[in-house]
Structure 1
Amino acid sequence: MRTTNASIAAAILPLVGGPANVTSAAHCMTRLRLDLRDRSLVQEEALRALPAVLGVVADDDTYQILLGPGTVARVTPEFEALLAGASTAEQLAARGAELKAARRQRNTTPVKLLLRRIANIFVPLIPALIGCGVIAGLNGLLVNLGWLGTITPALAAVAAGFMALIAVFVGHNTAKEFGGTPVLGGAVAAVIVYAGVAKVTVFGMTLAPGQGGVLGALAAAVLGTYVEKWCRGWVPEALDVLVTPTLTVLIAGLVTLYALMYAAGELSTAIGTAANWLLAHTGVFAGLILGGLFLPLVMLGLHQALIPIHTTLIEQQGYTVLLPILAMAGAGQVGAAAAVYVRLRHDTSIRTTIKSALPAGLLGVGEPLIYGVSLPLGRPFVTACAGGAAGGAFVGFFSMLGDKVGSSAIGPSGWALFPLLAGNRGLALTAAIYAGGLLTGYVVGFAATYFFGLTGLTGLPEPAGPADSAGPADSAGPADSAGSVGPAGLTDPADPADPAGLSVARAKVEP
Structure 2
Amino acid sequence: MATEDKNRATAAAILPLVGGAANVSSIAHCMTRLRLGLHDRTLVDDEALKAVPAVMGVVEDDTYQIVLGPGTVARVTPEFEQLVEEGRASASETPGPVHTAEELADKGAALKAQQKTKNSTPFKLFLRKIANIFVPLIPALIGCGIIAGLNGLLVNLGWLTSVTPALAAMASGFMALIAVFVGYNTAKEFGGTPILGGAVAAIIVFPGVANIDAFGQTLSPGQGGVLGALGAAVLAVYVEKWCRRWVPEALDVLVTPTLTVLISGLVTIFGLMYVAGEVSSAIGTFADWLLSTGGAGAGFLLGGFFLPLVMLGLHQALIPIHTTLIEQQGFTVLLPILAMAGAGQVGAAAAVYLRLPRNESIRKTIRSAMPAGLLGVGEPLIYGVSLPLGRPFITACVGGAFGGGFVGLFNQLGDSVGSTAIGPSGWALFPLLDGNHGLGSTIAIYAGGLLVGYVAGFVATYFFGFGKALLTEFNVSQEPAPSTVAATGPAAASGGTPAKEPAGV
Alignment partner, residue 9 of structure 2: 7
Alignment partner, residue 42 of structure 1: 44
Distance 1:327 1:167 in 2: 26
Alignment partner, residue 232 of structure 2: 220
Alignment partner, residue 429 of structure 1: 441
How far off is 1:245 after superposition?
1.2
Q: 1:418 aligns with which of 422, 425, 430?
A: 430
How far off is 1:107 after superposition?
8.2
Higher relative contact order (CA 8 A, sep 6+): 2
Task: Map 1:1-80 onto structure 2 (within 5 A).
Answer: 1-59=3-61, 61-80=62-81
Alignment partner, residue 123 of structure 1: 135
How far off is 1:109 after superposition?
2.1
Alignment partner, residue 507 of structure 1: none
Distance 1:157 1:207 in 2: 24
How far off is 1:500 after superposition?
5.0
| 2:382 is equivalent to residue 370 of structure 1 | yes
How far off is 1:459 after superposition?
4.6
Change in 2 beyond 3 A, CA 1:191/1:459: closer
Alignment partner, residue 345 of structure 2: 333
* Alpha-carbon contact 2:345-2:399 (below 8 Å) kept: yes
Q: Secondary structure at the match of 1:87?
A: helix
| 2:225 is equivalent to residue 234 of structure 1 | no
Structure 1 stretch displaced more, 348-357 or 19-28: 19-28
* Alpha-carbon contact 2:33-2:73 (below 8 Å) kept: yes
Q: Secondary structure at the match of 2:25?
A: strand
Q: 1:251 aligns with which of 263, 269, 279?
A: 263
Distance 2:452 2:199 in 1: 47
How far off is 1:246 after superposition?
1.2
Q: Secondary structure at the match of 2:246?
A: coil
| 2:282 is equivalent to residue 281 of structure 1 | no
Identity across matched positions, percent? 75
How far off is 1:278 after superposition?
0.2
Distance 2:380 2:77 in 1: 19
* Alpha-carbon contact 1:363-1:415 (below 8 Å) kept: yes
* Alpha-carbon contact 2:51-2:495 (below 8 Å) kept: no
Distance 1:203 1:5 in 2: 56
Amino acid at match of 1:274: F
Post-superposition CA distance 1:454-488 (Å, at most 9, x none): 2233453999xxxxxxxxxxxxxxxxxxxxxxxxx
Alignment partner, residue 212 of structure 2: 200
Distance 1:427 1:33 in 2: 36
Q: Secondary structure at the match of 2:192?
A: coil
How far off is 1:56 after superposition?
2.3
Q: Secondary structure at the match of 1:457?
A: helix
How far off is 1:393 after superposition?
0.1
Task: Map 1:324-403 onto structure 2 (within 5 A).
Answer: 324-403=336-415
Task: Map 1:261-300 onto structure 2 (within 5 A).
Answer: 261-300=273-312
Alignment partner, residue 454 of structure 2: 442
Amino acid at match of 1:69: P
Post-superposition CA distance 1:425-448 (Å, at most 9, x none): 000001000000000000000111
Change in 2 beyond 3 A, CA 1:39/1:387: same
Amino acid at match of 2:64: Y
Amino acid at match of 1:156: A
Distance 2:134 2:427 in 1: 23
Q: 1:164 aligns with which of 176, 182, 188?
A: 176
How far off is 1:32 after superposition?
2.0
Change in 2 beyond 3 A, CA 1:459/1:364: closer
Amino acid at match of 1:409: A
Post-superposition CA distance 1:46-68 (Å, at most 9, x none): 32222212122223x33322221
Distance 2:361 2:181 in 1: 45
* Alpha-carbon contact 2:385-2:494 (below 8 Å) kept: no
Unpaired runs of at least 5, structure 1: 90-103, 464-498, 503-511
Amino acid at match of 1:422: D
Structure 1 stretch displaced more, 19-28 or 338-347: 19-28
* Alpha-carbon contact 1:455-1:461 (below 8 Å) kept: no
Q: Secondary structure at the match of 1:33?
A: strand
How far off is 1:272 after superposition?
0.2
| 2:324 is equivalent to residue 323 of structure 1 | no
Distance 2:434 2:285 in 1: 18
* Alpha-carbon contact 1:349-1:501 (below 8 Å) kept: no
Unpaired runs of at least 5, structure 2: 91-115, 476-492, 497-505
* RMSD of aligned alpha carbons: 2.2
TM-score, normalised by the number of residues in structure 2: 0.86
Distance 1:106 1:360 in 2: 28
Distance 1:451 1:83 in 2: 50
Amino acid at match of 2:33: R
* Alpha-carbon contact 2:228-2:273 (below 8 Å) kept: yes
* Alpha-carbon contact 1:350-1:501 (below 8 Å) kept: no
Structure 1 stretch displaced more, 29-38 or 275-284: 29-38
> Aligned pairs, how many?
452
Q: 1:180 aligns with which of 192, 206, 228?
A: 192
Change in 2 beyond 3 A, CA 1:362/1:105: closer
Structure 1 stretch displaced more, 435-444 or 292-301: 292-301
